[in-house]
């Protein structure tokens, strides 16, 4: 098992708030001429590979434009004031 810090753009995140098996954060947004707003999402996901981490995210976010994926140690957390979480970090393994 590996830990991945991944990020993507999406135009919809509300349906995933209560359903996703991992914690995620809205880290920014961008707008387009047609008034469509997209949100930058970051998440910590544990998976066997990068492709499996992306598949876990795609279960809850149908529309995704990938930004980045960085592999970390299994004990890694985003651990700063910008990406806060309460209790145990949910990483998609339960």
Residue 13's pLDDT is 86
In this prediction, the residues of the chain whose per-residue pLDDT falls under 70 are 80, 82, 84-88, 94
Residue 49's pLDDT is 97
Residue 22's pLDDT is 93
- Output the DSSP codes for the chain: -EEEEEEEEES--GGGTTT-SB-EEEEEEEE-TTS-EEEEEEEEEEESSHHHHHHHHHTT-SS-EEEEEEEE-TT----SSSS---SSPPBS--
Ordered by where they begin, the domains of the chain are 2-72 (3.30.70)
Residue 72's pLDDT is 96
Residue 84's pLDDT is 67
Residue 9's pLDDT is 96
Residue 87's pLDDT is 60
């Amino acid at each position: 098992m590996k830990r991945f810090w991944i990020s993507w753009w999406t135009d919809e995140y509300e349906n995933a708030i209560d359903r996703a098996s991992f914690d995620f954060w809205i880290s920014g947004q961008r707008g387009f001429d047609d008034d469509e707003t997209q949100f930058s999402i970051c998440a910590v996901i544990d998976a066997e590979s990068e492709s499996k981490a992306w598949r876990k995210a795609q279960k809850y976010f149908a529309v995704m434009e990938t930004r980045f994926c960085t592999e970390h140690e299994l004990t890694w957390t985003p651990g700063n004031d910008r990406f806060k979480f309460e209790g145990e970090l949910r990483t998609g393994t339960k």
